[in-house]
Amino acid sequence: MLRLYTRQMNGGKGVLMMLLCGWARATAQDASAACATCHREIAAVYRTTPMARTSSRGVVALPKQDATVGPYRLLTAGILQYPGGERKLEFTLGSGSSGHSYLFRRDGYLYQAPVSYYRSMLTFDHSPGYSPERLEMARAVEPACLQCHTTGMQPVAGTQNRFADPPYREDGIGCERCHGSGAAHRKAPRRGNIVNPAKLDPERRDSVCAQCHLTGAARIARTTPGTYQPGGRLSEHLAVFVWTASTGELSATSHYDRLEQSGCKKASGAKLWCGSCHSPHPVKAASYDAACQNCHATKPCTAGKKADCAGCHMPKGPSRTVDHLAFTDHAIPRKPGVPLTEGDKSELVSFWRNTPEVRDLALGYSVVAPTVAAVRPRTLQLLQKAEAENPKDVPVLAQLATFYERMRRGAQAAELTERIYTLDPNHQATLVNLGSERAKQGRLPEAIALWKKALLRNPALTPARVNLAVALYQSGEKEQARRELETALVWDPGSEQAQRLLDEMR
């Protein structure tokens, strides 16, 4: 017993997706207020839309009586109880069109609650991707999540999920997320000195919505999140990969990929974009039928229909990534009712139609490799090629280390781990893994220091804390080891490993 040092897999993507409810917001906070002073009508319309309301402080859709979901109890006061403790929920993500999910904080570190509200069922259930079996109170909310759902997020550098107070400055998607900085425009208000997405060239225009609505099969950051600004080209900041053939999967962020596959898009190219059918702040009510008729007046529906075009040609289908959810199929199928194709998961291509850099492609494959076995040999080859091109590319080295680890090529994994540490002494998975290497070499004080450092990035990083406890125990610090395990259970009350070790130590 008390031997095993857990390793952390690199790049285990926090499951982005998503949740889901409805009730009014407590306060319509108006932080895009500076724009609203002049653009009053637009601001008033926009404030009521799902995008403007996609995040709020406090808990939206509180149950009218305490709600029980598995081992959890959501109290009417917005407190989530679990066996042995409770947390106050502080933020809500999701406007409620499909649902709400909730966030709680501890010492400034942000976590997602295991219980969400689903509008389709008008009730609470486990959050998407959460296991009903294990108590899950330790899912870190990383900046990417707030980047798509809030404005002006304030992450604390060098941590995985710590944010300043407040974690973000403005509820919802503020004006400047699509219009860029308004500083110059506010001083000299006129057309031409602020981004108007509709006036950008197609690539820059599409980039505005794609920052949040495009994930594809893999989304690889090329710059620090938040660097992209409206008016720029998203492809410089983000590599996005899709399978060569459609996989027909509908998800919260599949609208782009699907639209690309539509007959309309293929035939009309850059002319068709999200804005052809959606206006973020429609001052005059527009109908989807009118949007179709804009292009289809001359070549009408062969079935002779004159209305509800989308009702037949843009059917809703269940999401394959989240239960209880349905999304509109943006591939605009000709024959309604023909099921979506299964597609072919063998080759990834760049969504931007450019030739991707080897390292981006290698990282893209690394995202899908855990679930698509057939691409693993190719992934390894690409990672090795990328590593040869740039032996200092930390994300590539980290993925390669994981591959070697899984292939039981421990020496190579260890060499990479050492190299990553010299390049980025703050790399989270590496802190955990290098600690294990050091512990195996009997260098316990160094191992302990590495794990303590990892825990500053996210105190709920249970593998690091359990390892730390074992190392302390082996160094004779039994009381401290026990205390670390107790702390592990405060941050991650569902950890069976911490509980078991604690029982053994007692």
Of 430, 376, 371, the closest CA to residue 398 belongs to 430
Letter for the amino acid at 38?
C
Name residues whose C-beta falls within 8 Å of residue 164's C-beta, 6 or more positions apart in sequence.
108, 154, 155, 156
| Contact mark string toward ligand HEC, 99..128, x via CB under 6 A | xxx----------x----------------
CB of 474 to ligand HEC, least distance (A): 36
Question: Of 210-218, 438-446, 452-460, 493-501, which part binds ligand HEC (CB under 6 A)?
Answer: 210-218
Q: Name the CA radius of gyration of the chain, rounded.
A: 25
Quick one: which of 29, 154, 229, 328 contacts ligand HEC (CB under 6 A)? 328
264 lies in the site for ligand HEC, by CB under 6 A:
yes
Question: Of 65-73, 302-310, 344-352, 472-480, which part binds ligand HEC (CB under 6 A)?
Answer: 302-310
277 lies in the site for ligand HEC, by CB under 6 A:
yes
> Taking the mean position of all CA atoms in its chain, how far away is CA 287?
31
Name residues whose C-beta falls within 8 Å of residue 433's C-beta, 6 or more positions apart in sequence.
7, 8, 401, 413, 417
Structure tokens at 264: 């309309």
CA atoms within 13 A of residue 143's CA, in its CB half-sphere: 17
Task: Determine the size of the site formed for ligand HEC (CB under 6 A).
Answer: 104
Give the residue with the Cβ less far from ligand HEC, 144 or 505: 144
- Residues in region 338-357 near ligand HEC by CB under 6 A: none
Name residues whose C-beta falls within 8 Å of residue 342's C-beta, 6 or more positions apart in sequence.
247, 248
331 lies in the site for ligand HEC, by CB under 6 A:
no
Burial of 273 (0-12, 13-18, 19+ CB in 10 A): buried
208 lies in the site for ligand HEC, by CB under 6 A:
yes
CB of 199 to ligand HEC, least distance (A): 6
Structure tokens at 69: 């979901």
Structure tokens at 119: 């509008």
- Residues in region 143-182 near ligand HEC by CB under 6 A: 144-145, 148-149, 173, 175-179, 182
CB of 218 to ligand HEC, least distance (A): 12
For 109, 288, 289, 293, 439, the CA distances from 299, given in Å and listed in that order, are: 56, 17, 14, 9, 71
> Taking the mean position of all CA atoms in its chain, how far away is CA 165?
21
221 lies in the site for ligand HEC, by CB under 6 A:
no
281 lies in the site for ligand HEC, by CB under 6 A:
yes
CB of 200 to ligand HEC, least distance (A): 9
Quick one: which of 10, 161, 215, 428 contacts ligand HEC (CB under 6 A)? 215
CB of 293 to ligand HEC, least distance (A): 6
- Residues in region 388-407 near ligand HEC by CB under 6 A: none
Torsion of the alpha carbons at 63, 92, 315 and 368, rounded to the nearest 10? -120
Quick one: which of 9, 39, 70, 166 contacts ligand HEC (CB under 6 A)? 39
324 lies in the site for ligand HEC, by CB under 6 A:
no
For 149, 206, 290, the CA distances from 172, given in Å and listed in that order, are: 6, 20, 28
Quick one: which of 7, 25, 237, 313 contacts ligand HEC (CB under 6 A)? 313
429 lies in the site for ligand HEC, by CB under 6 A:
no
Question: Of 34-42, 130-138, 220-228, 360-368, which part binds ligand HEC (CB under 6 A)?
Answer: 34-42
9 lies in the site for ligand HEC, by CB under 6 A:
no
29 lies in the site for ligand HEC, by CB under 6 A:
no
Give the residue with the Cβ less far from ligand HEC, 174 or 435: 174
Structure tokens at 423: 């390049």
CB of 473 to ligand HEC, least distance (A): 34
User: What residue number has its CB nearest to ligand HEC?
Assistant: 182
Of 149, 110, 118, 347, the closest CA to residue 246 belongs to 347
* Residue 84 near residue 493, CB atoms below 8 Å: yes
- Residues in region 237-256 near ligand HEC by CB under 6 A: 252-253, 255-256
